[in-house]
Structure 1
Amino acid sequence: MATTGGRLSAVTESLKIAATVRGRRLVGKLVEGSNILSFALDRIPNYPKPGDRLEAWAQDLEALATRLPKADHSFTPATRLAFTEAVAAIKHDLPLLSDQQVMARMASAMALARNAHTRLYLVRVRTQVRMLPIKVWWFSDGLRIVRTAPAYASLLGCRVTDIEGVDVRHARDIVAPAYAGNAGWVDYMSTYTLGSAELLSGYGITASPDRAVFGLADCAAPPRATLPAMPPAKTNSAVEAWWDLAPGMAVAGWPQVLGTATPPLYLRHPDKNYWQEYLSDSATLYVQYNRAAEIPDQSVAAFTKSVMAMFDAHPVKRFVLDLRLNTGGNQDIAKGLMETLAKRTQGMARFVITSRATFSAGISHAAYWRQFPDVKIVGELVGDSMDFWSEGGNLLLPNSGLAAHFANVPHSFSTAPCPPVNYCEEGSAPSLRPDVPTFLSWQQYIEKRDPSLEAIVGR
């Protein structure tokens, strides 16, 4: 790398970089073969060491207010103004707020972008807050405890009625402003938030960030349980809430409500990004695609060949693509798989299963199949709209280290036109609302049934 008179240049075997300093920006081009990419980088402010926690939070809020609207392209003029005003209000109220309240209000401010990928990473992708020793899931008839720390195994299967006197559904509505996306995505994400002592405190549901009292019913446990916040276990690795439905997804010795029983088909391989099985009783080829990412021991290309071999080896009358647990990843790696499957399954009954956890790249694949008039969608509505902004990156706040995720690439899978930008991932499909709506009840779950697959093979 060389710098001369405000200019920077660098050359590797495959990449050339040439840039010029213009004021506080570095502007230039990346050249790789015939591909040329223009870029502009802003200098990150160097904040002085804060004198106390209020000054530390003030610097974080200043960084969020100035950097996020520049990096995130999903903002409209109206949502950008709402975000700016919300951050200013947090800064004004800082002397009155706990750390937990600051984080909660920052998350809610970012959600004002109305784009589910624009968010403050507190749970799921990065866990930055203390959690309770239970894991919960919304069934069609209520919130249930499906996994616990060993000392709280007696709570497995209990229905949560309230949290410190706040009806549990109302508690879900109180934390809902932390997330954009639709109601289903809020249900999915609220299972994390309602399981965090710190976030429950931040949103005013509990008084203390160190514990929460849960009301319980429909189980042998006492009707009130005081749950302590566990020690901090911060991680930058993704943790999916749906993993807690699957007994086979081991979580450091935490017991799961289904125990060692064989779970329904869709929960048998939570550790596999993609897999298949032939169901001889109904002549159905079932493919589950859980994560848009390749696995080391089988590329997507190799998996595609194995699926084609399964078609050749069996009489197939129905094809099922299960995307209900696909929260995203790299949509490009499976485009060939989807196109090959679409061609091979022409003329047979074809179904796609979706749910509230179908998100991002999962939605893009559902939209691809929706283009074919004969394909039926079964299950719950996907977790976001068909038009959204994603990709992007993270802005690390200078003192808390919290990551504010920004989005800068539009995806338009509905019939609406793309935004007027240089690049847009575009499709044109009708609504992803299920043709056959199904909802998993608690009784169906403990009986290890799958209402979505039952609706398909029973047709």
Structure 2
Amino acid sequence: MRTLKKIVIGYVLFNLLLAGLFFSAGGLQMLEKPQIPQVESPGSLASDLEYFKQVVLANEKDITPEQAAEFNQIVESAPAPQSEDDLTLLVLQALSVFENAHTTALTTKMHRLPVRFHWTSDGLIIVKARADHSALLGQRVLSLGGKTPEELLPSTMVLTGGGTESWRKYRSEFLYSAPSALSLIGATVTKGSVEIRTLSPDNVESRVQLTAENETKPGDPFWEFRNAFPEDESFATKGWTSVLRKGDHLPLYLQESDKLYLLRELPEHDAIYVRMNASFADKTETLDEFEQRILELGTKSQAQHYIVDFRFNRGGDYTKVLPIVRTIADATQENGRIYLIVGPNTFSAGIIAASQFKHLTPQNLVIVGSQVGDKLRFRAEGFYPKLPVSGIQLYLTKGWTDLADGCGWFDDCWPPNKILLNGIGKLEIDIPAENTWTSYLSGIDLVIDAVFEDIKRESTEISSMKSG
């Protein structure tokens, strides 16, 4: 009987200890349920705006008094929205004051031009168009409503808020496609119509007046990059034409673009190529299955290097990707390298996974590409309220991630991050590389070419040392 009593007491004390550890690590934030405002009936765009104000102030974490005041000033001083465009712009502008890239309109509703854009290192180009404007495909944009894309960029900050400079530039691709957004940031727009001046690949300038489509089209900051993929039909663009076609000679990062993951052996470079365009399961393959394929190919090929392409890893659940990060780190030979490709669309869980490569194998890691999409300290782990009438969906956040200094036990980080993640200081680019207007149109990937050149250089140096 005494033994049983001791077991029960021990069990209770053990669970109290676990509970204490859980709450001391900030576990309460994992148990908090979102506060949902009452929905007015019948609803209107004006009631959507009031719902938006209430749901944001009740749920967005760590808003400073100054940010709350600025948020309220934007919402309360704005005229009642007359269209989904008005409401979307108000939402973007108000959320930008929190300076957190995750905190945004996840699903936008706006009247958009019949073309889509993509930044290359030397300019903004038209990559997708409605069929009747297909002649514009591949052309570089010289001006939108009388201003160059570069001149308009600083003004886009009022609608994009946080993130890095590269993220804000990427977000401008969406904003430039919406005349109402262009008007707000300083371009000349007349009744939804914008004059666009372009330059063709053979150096011929032209002007075209484009008008927004009659129906609103959706957008999503985490997926808009798909407009640059061959024959993409995302965001209600079925039947549109793309400058790149699936039958073309395409670089690895654009091959089988309907799949999130791609795995290829590259024996001529003594490497394995691993592409991950998200941090969650694909339609036809789990992450465990993908990890198993990586293991099997690594064992079979005995390749010295891994090329991990995260340039379009827009995030998801990092806990599902960390096993793959560890598998690649463990499989890399002592003298091998992990070439990690990143860019503006390396975001959220994509940045987290990228950072842990640096923690696990700093001596083997070479980071290639350009600046990632967010700072190393950001808020995420939120929820997705939808405005009842317009259907505009928000992403509101409550959990901090700190990949720079790491998360202390008693700080404000999301509790699992304190156990699973390590701070890395900085995530700097070792080999800067970006695609140009010409390389994109030609199906040449200058980024992976930079990797191949470094592999060749390294191999030549090793051979010289051995022969010497």
Query: Under TM normalisation by the shorter chain, which class is it?
Result: 0.7 to 0.9
1:238 and 1:415 mapped to 2: Cα distance?
27
Mapped pair 1:71 → 2:59? yes
**Does the CA-based 8 Å contact 1:386-1:413 persist in structure 2?**
yes
Provide the C-alpha distance between the structure 1 equivalents of 2:347 and 2:129, rounded to a whole number of angstroms: 26
Q: 2:127 aligns with which of 134, 146, 164?
A: 146
Q: 1:116, CA displacement in angstroms?
A: 0.6
Tell me the distance in 2 between the aligned counterparts of 1:161 and 1:439.
Answer: 20
Alignment partner, residue 454 of structure 1: 449
Q: 2:37 aligns with which of 31, 44, 60?
A: 44
Question: Is the CA contact 1:176–1:186 (under 8 Å) kept in the aligned structure 2?
Answer: yes
Matched letter for residue 60 of structure 1: D
1:223 equivalent among 197, 206, 224: 206
Shift of 1:378: 0.4
* Partner secondary structure for residue 396 of structure 1: coil
Match of 2:380 in 1: 390
Report how far residue 337 of structure 1 moved: 1.4
AA at the equivalent of 1:435: D
Q: Does 2:100 align with 1:105? A: no
In the TM superposition, residue 214 of structure 1 has moved relative to its aligned partner by 0.7
Cα drift, residue 293 of structure 1:
1.6
Partner SS for 2:127: strand
Q: Distance in 2 between matches of 1:209 and 1:387?
A: 41
Amino acid at match of 2:94: A
Equivalent position of 1:243 in the other structure: 226
Q: How does 1:408-447 map to 2 (within 5 A)?
A: 408-415=398-405, 417=407, 419-420=411-412, 423=415, 425=417, 426-447=421-442
Write the deviation string for residues 353-411 of structure 1: whole angstroms up to 9, x where unpaired: 00001111111111111213221110011100111111211233344342232111211
Q: 2:362 aligns with which of 344, 348, 373?
A: 373
2:325 is aligned to: 338
Q: Give the alignment partner of residue 242 of structure 2, picking from 256, 263, 277.
A: 256
2-structure distance, mates of 1:406, 1:360: 14
1:58-457 → structure 2 map (5 Å cutoff):
58-90=46-78, 93-94=79-80, 100-121=85-106, 126-179=107-160, 180-208=162-190, 210-219=192-201, 223-235=206-218, 240-247=223-230, 249=232, 252-259=238-245, 260-347=247-334, 348-371=336-359, 372-374=361-363, 375-415=365-405, 417=407, 419-420=411-412, 423=415, 425=417, 426-457=421-452
Paired residue type of 1:404: L
Return the alpha-carbon distance in structure 2 between the equivalents of residues 378 and 288 of structure 1.
Answer: 14
Structure with the greater relative contact order (CA < 8 A, sep ≥ 6): 1 or 2? 2
Question: 1:331-366: per-residue Cα shift (whole Å, max 9, x none)?
Answer: 222221111111111411111000001111111111
Contact 2:400 2:414 in 1 (8 A): no
Alpha-carbon offset, residue 81 of structure 1: 2.9
Deviations 1:142-166 (A, max 9, x none): 1111121111111111111111212
TM-fit CA distance, 1:424:
5.5
State the Cα distance separating 1:421 from its structure 2 match.
Answer: 5.6
**Distance (whole Å) between structure 2 residues aligned to residue 36 and residue 385 of structure 1:** 22
CA separation of 1:207 and 1:294: change in aligned 2, threshold 3 A: same
The 3-state SS of whatever aligns with 1:177 is helix
Tell me how far apart the structure 1 counterparts of residues 375 and 31 of structure 2 sit (CA, whole Å). Answer: 30
Question: 2 CA distance for matches of 1:112 and 1:448?
Answer: 39
The letter for the 2-side match of 1:231 is: N
Match for 2:200: what amino acid? D
Shift of 1:117: 0.8
Give me the whole-angstrom Cα distance separating, in 2, the residues matched to 1:133 and 1:239: 21
* Structure (1/2) with the larger strand percentage: 1
Q: Which amino acid aligns with 1:311?
A: G
Q: 1:98 to 1:170 in 2, by over 3 A?
A: farther
For the Cα contact (< 8 Å) 1:100–1:201, is it kept in 2? Answer: no
Structure 1: state its 5+ residue gaps: 1-34, 51-55
Write the deviation string for residues 244-283 of structure 1: whole angstroms up to 9, x where unpaired.
3332545523222234421111111211121210112111
Partner amino acid, structure 2, of 1:131? R
Shift of 1:422: 6.5
Shift of 1:181: 1.1
Distance 1:211 1:43 in 2: 38
- Return the structure number with greater helix share: 2
The code of the aligned residue for 1:449 comes to: I
Deviation at 1:168, TM superposition (A): 1.8
C-alpha separation in 2, matches of 1:450 and 1:48: 53
The 3 A distance-change label for structure 1 pair 130 and 37 is closer
Letter paired with 1:78: E
**SS of the counterpart of 1:44?**
coil
Q: Distance in 1 between matches of 2:103 and 2:164?
A: 14
Please say if residues 101 and 201 of structure 1, whose CA atoms lie closer than 8 Å, have aligned partners that are also in contact. no
TM-score (norm 2): 0.81
Q: Tell me which residue corresponds to 1:22.
A: none
> Which blocks of at least 5 consecutive residues in structure 2 are unaligned?
1-27, 455-468
| CA distance 1:310–1:94, shift in 2 (3 Å) | same
8 Å contact from structure 1 (residues 410, 423) kept in 2: no
The whole-number CA distance in structure 2 between the counterparts of 1:294 and 1:106 is: 30
**Residue type of the partner of 2:176?**
L
Residues 163/75 of structure 1: CA separation in 2 closer, same or farther (3 Å cut): same
Q: Deviations over 1:10-62 (max 9, x none)?
A: xxxxxxxxxxxxxxxxxxxxxxxxx9974456462343647xxxxx4543333
RMSD (CA atoms): 2.7
- The structure-2 alpha-carbon separation of the partners of 1:36 and 1:214, relative to structure 1 and needing over 3 Å to count, comes to closer
The answer (yes or no) to whether the contact 2:314–2:350 under 8 Å persists in 1 is yes
1: CA distance, partners of 2:86 / 2:34: 32
Q: What's the offset of the Cα at 1:88?
A: 2.7
After superposition, the C-alpha distances for 1:91-136 in whole angstroms (9 at most, x for unaligned) are: xx449x8764453233111011111111124xxxx24112211111
